[in-house]
Amino acid sequence: NLLDVSSFSETMCGSSLFVTLKTDGGGIRYADPDQWAKILDIAKNTTAKNVFFAMSCPPEDFDDSAEAELLNSVLSQNLFERGINVYIISEGSEKRITAKNGVRYINLPVLENITVSEFKDNSSFLDSLQIIVDGEDTGYFFEALLEDCRIK
């Protein structure tokens, strides 16, 4: 896996909180339902300005779509509405950034899901996500690991 998300963890870095969630098996509840109490505690009590949640399974791929909606609702209502930036970083089939109710979703491609044909046409699958934390300011961008190296 691209992300080390084998168990729940949280780490504070400056004014940002980084949380890993175990979601293998189809979602948070399937992987470890005790994580929900920790998510709710963070949502209600964190003093961080930015909260990053990393998980292997993107919420749109949870076996229970209601759990994905609940996660968005909890994070939006308890963090975003308090002025806290919320990011969900997960693995997917393509590099994609979307937002819903103030929660930003960042999908990173997993190389094992990419065909040779796709890689030949687009080496950006190897881009890395860079997260910059500078005091209360936080940003992110993709950085190319390889310059144009299309396979012919």
Model confidence at 73: pLDDT above 80? yes
Cβ–Cβ < 8 Å for 50, 84: yes
* 151 pLDDT more than 50: no
Listed in sequence order, the residues at least 6 apart from 50 whose beta carbon sits closer than 8 Å to its beta carbon are: 15, 16, 17, 84, 85, 86, 87, 133, 138
pLDDT digits (tens, 9 = 90+) for 116-141: 555 555 555 567 778 887 777 777 77
> How far is 102 from 85, CA to CA, in rounded Å?
8
pTM of the complete model: 0.83
- Residues in contact with 27: Cβ distance below 8 Å, sequence separation at least 6, in sequence order: 57, 62, 63, 64, 67, 68
Measured distance CA(59)–CA(47) in Å, rounded: 24
Q: What's residue 56's pLDDT?
A: 87
pLDDT beyond 80 at 96:
yes
